[in-house]
Chain A
Amino acid sequence: MIRLEKLNKSYPMADAPVHVLRDLDLFVAEGEYAAIMGSSGSGKSTLLNVLGLLDRYDSGSYTLGDTLIRDVSEREAARLRNQYIGFVFQSFHLLPFKTATENVALPLYYAGVPRRRRNELALQMLERVGLRERADHLPNQLSGGQKQRVAIARALVTKPRLVLADEPTGALDSQTSNDIMDLLASVNADGMTVLVVTHEHDVAAKMRRVIHLVDGRIASDRIQVPS
């Protein structure tokens, strides 16, 4: 699913460029359920951005599925993101003036799906995350956990092959966090590759693989039995 070889990424800074990812090699197979951990500044968010085609890398190579991601245009990146990748963010990023259904349907709009079909699929997805009855609510009428469920529904609605979650439980209490992680686990059980960036050990403990980043390098990479 994901293959990184000698991936490097640095940000230009005033005095010297900051080397964020250093010669990173990583292979993630289809259907994996993995956590990317690391302290602040370890490069985990940058890695997620590169994987999500939200950011470019300097050297090495990144292959997503069968596609080598190198010098893709903005337009092509937008298409690949829309088609292959679902995003879940720490702060949900729901559009405040749109109902749950409309938020979920948004990626389908950019995929060119007709409206009637879009709403059908969005409702199905809300059903899947257990929020069918909140379909017409605006985000500010939903609790944090519900917002994140809507966001997950939005990430899943295009049936992507890869779900990238950036601190999905960062803004939630522990009970809600568990619910969300259970939901992600069931998404993974459906066969989707799920990568979660987190710094919470409770969260990482629920994953089958934990990749630890330190200073832009993989410090440890182990398979575990989810708790």
Chain B
Amino acid sequence: MFDLDRWTELADGLRTNPVRTLLTALGVFWGMFMLVVMLGFGDGLERGATRSMAGYATNAVYLWGGRTTLPWGGLAPGRYVGFDNSDTEALRQLPGVEHVAPRNQLGGWREGNNVVRGAKTGNYTVMGDVAELAHILAPIVVRGRFLDPLDVAERRKVAVLGDQVVQELFPYGEDPIGQHVAIRGIQFKVVGWIRSHANDDRSDRDNATIHLPFTTFQRTFGFGDRVGWFALTGAKDVPGSELEASVRRELGGRHQVNPEDNNAIGAFNAEKEFAKITALFTGIRFFVWFVGVMTLAAGVVGVSNILLIVVRERTKEFGLRRALGATPTDVVGMVVQEAIVLTAVAGYAGLVAGVVVLEIAARLIGTDHATMGTPTVDLGAALGAGLVLLIGGALAGVIPARHAAAIQPVVALHAE
């Protein structure tokens, strides 16, 4: 393979018919180009989807109280299930649970303006939250900090504002930290300014939210010890569905709910969503590889066909070489090498062209497009494609090479 002579022989062979060589190479080039570009855009889509979910812990579970539909322990159906602070403590003790964030919400929809700062007013979602929520929401802290455990323990009158809230209530360039906002007429000191990681309508909602310490919220707005709903995450190796089941069991037991009753406690489990999206992209990936490899295979078949013609045309030459001492293996080697080189060079050119196109596309798309992330091809995929190509090249050479090896010098030399 590293014998210079073989390479000069090869170059001679390819040079004799450059147009044909080029056309043959084009098939493989195109296959590789398509594969790379499709992989790149598939990757970009996946990246976009993943980014829109960023900031949401993958095994987060959300639970809220509903209405019972089945009788249990002598209690008639139709009862409302409400959570309170004791539930929070119970869930914190539950094995497999990592972070528990009880949440309460004030007004929101159709409430009218509820927040005032100087001359400006706005209608925002006001939440009572604990410091642990940061593990579930994972916000970007623009300035200041998120709520901390002391805020909650000491019932401080502080607030963390979402990005949109800051933009609307504070003039551009003014630092909101240390300022006060009035929520339902009660003054809160701003300690943090956060922004959502995500890139969809959920992020808009998050950015229009004000977070107050949970305890402060309960006391100030008269919630007593009620808890609106729970957001919680499991330990690393606990899947969301398992976590949901065990938390449901615990809360169901504490509130006399029929274990069969799925409506009494509502739950949302992000794992299912993630699984759906993961499956979708596994499908897309498979499709891309399938189409790409098939296109590449078509190119390889093209190479094989051309080489068959080449072998036929060079019958006399192969016969002569055999007469002069070339073994059948030598001849097979020549043809297979030609096939591999042809596919490798064309494929590499396709790879490079594909990467160039992806780079240009990445520039055009930019980094903050909602659904399309930066298209890229990772090294593994490129190496995989390269391997497919080498195998394809060798396969392309096999059939023509066998024809070449079967050439009898006698027949070849007398074919005038």
- A residues near B, CB below 8 A? 45, 49, 52, 54-55, 74-75, 78-79, 81-83, 87, 89, 91, 93, 95, 97-98, 106-107, 109-111, 115, 154, 158
Q: Is B182 an interface residue (CB 8 A)?
A: no
Which residues in chain B, 270-321, are within 8 Å of chain A measured between CB atoms?
316-317, 320-321
Tell me which of B316, B324, B328, B414 contacts A154 (CB under 8 A): B324
Contact B326 A110 (CB under 8 A): yes
A78 to chain B, nearest CB (A): 4
Given contacts A97-B12, A97-B15, A115-B5, contact A78 B327 (CB under 8 A): yes
Decide: B328 and A54 in contact? CB cutoff 8 A. Answer: no
Task: Please tell me if the beta carbons of A87 and B324 are within 8 angstroms of each other in the complex.
Answer: yes
Q: Is the interface of A mostly helix, strand, loop or mixed?
A: helix
B12 with A82: CB separation less than 8 A: no
Contacts of A98 in B (CB 8 A): 12
Tell whether, in the assembled complex, residue B325 and residue A82 are in contact, meaning their CB atoms are under 8 Å apart.
Answer: yes
CB neighbors of A among B370-416 (8 A) = 408-410, 413-414, 416
Which chain B residues border A89 with CB–CB below 8 Å? 413
A-B contact count (CB 8 A): 59
Contact of A81 among B4, B16, B324 (CB under 8 A): B324
Q: 16 A-B contacts, Cβ less than 8 Å apart?
A: A54-B410, A54-B413, A55-B410, A74-B327, A74-B328, A78-B322, A78-B326, A78-B327, A87-B324, A91-B416, A93-B316, A97-B16, A107-B324, A110-B327, A111-B325, A115-B4
Residues of B within 8 A of A83 (CB): 325
Q: How far is the CB of B21 from chain A (nearest CB, A)?
A: 14
Complex Cα distance, B327 from A78, in Å, reads: 6
- Give the residues in chain A near B235, CB-CB below 8 Å: none
Please, which residue of chain B has its CB at the minimum distance from the CB of A48?
B410
Q: Knowing that A78-B328, A82-B324, A110-B326 are A-B contacts, what are 14 other residue pairs whose CB atoms are under 8 Å apart, sorted by A's residue number? A: A49-B410, A54-B409, A75-B328, A75-B329, A78-B325, A78-B327, A78-B330, A79-B325, A87-B324, A95-B320, A98-B12, A107-B325, A110-B327, A154-B324
Is B23 close to A, CB under 8 A?
no
Contact size range, B: 20 to 34
Partner of B325, one of A55, A110, A115: A110
Whether B321 contacts A106 by the Cβ 8 Å rule is yes
Task: Report B324-351 CB contacts with A as 1/0, cut-off 8 Å.
Answer: 1111111000000000000000000000
B323 in the interface (beta carbon within 8 A): yes
CB neighbours (8 Å) of A97 from chain B are 12, 15-16
Q: DSSP majority for the B interface? A: helix
Q: Indicate whether A93 sits within 8 Å of B12 (C-beta atoms), given known contacts A49-B410, A54-B409, A109-B5.
A: no
A85 to chain B minimum Cβ distance, whole angstroms, is 9
Closest beta carbon of chain A to B4's beta carbon, Å: 7
The residue in chain B whose Cβ has the minimal distance to the Cβ of A90 is B416
Task: For the complex formed, measure the closest distance between the CB of A172 and the CB atoms of chain B, giving whole angstroms.
Answer: 16
Nearest neighbor of A105 in chain B, beta-carbon distance: B5
Give bound CA distance, A133 to B320, whole Å.
25
B317 touches A95 (CB 8 A): yes
Give residues 1-33 of B contacting A (CB, 8 Å). Answer: 4-5, 12, 15-16
A4 to chain B, nearest CB (A): 18
Cβ-neighbour of A87 out of B317, B323, B326, B416 (below 8 A): B323
Cβ contacts under 8 Å, A52 to chain B: 323
Q: A82-B324, A95-B317 are in contact. Are A110 and B330 (CB under 8 A)?
A: yes
Q: Assess the B4–A75 pair: CB atoms within 8 A.
A: no
Q: CA separation between A190 and B395, bound complex, in Å?
A: 49
- CB A60 to nearest CB in B, in angstroms, measures 19
State whether A110 touches B321 (Cβ < 8 A). yes
User: Chain A residue with minimal CB distance to B414?
Assistant: A45
Cα–Cα distance between A45 and B409 once the two chains are bound (Å) = 13
Bound CA–CA A52/B319 (angstroms): 13
Chain B proximity of A197: nearest CB distance (Å): 12
CA distance A109 to B321 in the complex (A): 10
Contact B416 A81 (CB under 8 A): no
Q: What's the least CB distance linking A110 to chain B, in Å?
A: 4
CB distance from A88 to the nearest CB of B (A): 11
For A45, the closest partner residue in chain B by CB is B414
Most chain-A Cβ atoms within 10 A of its Cβ — which of B323, B329, B409? B323
Closest to B8 in A: A102
Bound complex: CA of A106 vs CA of B408, how far in Å? 19
Hey, which chain A residues are within 8 Å of B320, CB to CB? 93, 95
| Cα–Cα distance between A110 and B320 once the two chains are bound (Å) | 12
Say how far B319's CB is from chain A's closest CB, in angstroms. Answer: 8
Contacts of B329 in A (CB 8 A): 75
How far does the Cβ of B66 sit from chain A's closest Cβ, in whole Å?
A: 83
**Residues of chain B with a CB closer than 8 A to A95's CB:** 12, 317, 320
A-side contacts of B16, CB under 8 Å: 97
Report the minimal beta-carbon distance from A166 to chain B, rounded to whole angstroms: 8
- Measured CB to CB, the nearest residue on chain B to A109 is B5
Q: How far is the CA of A44 from the CA of B15 in the complex (A)?
A: 38
Q: Which 6 A-B pairs have the closest CB atoms?
A: A82-B325, A110-B325, A78-B327, A107-B324, A75-B327, A54-B410
A54 to B328, CA, bound (A): 13
Per-residue contact bits, chain B 232-262, to A (CB 8 Å; 1 contact, 0 not): 0000000000000000000000000000000
> What separation, in Å, do the CA atoms of A154 and B323 have in the docked complex?
12
* In contact, B325 and A93 (Cβ under 8 angstroms): no
- Please report the C-alpha to C-alpha distance between residue A87 and residue B326 in the assembled complex, in whole angstroms: 14
Please give, as numbers and ranges, the residues of chain A lying within 8 Å of B316 by CB-CB distance. 93
Contacts of B413 in A (CB 8 A): 54, 89, 93
Pairwise interchain contact B321-A81, C-beta atoms closer than 8 A: no
Q: Which residue of B lies closest to A80 (CB)?
A: B325
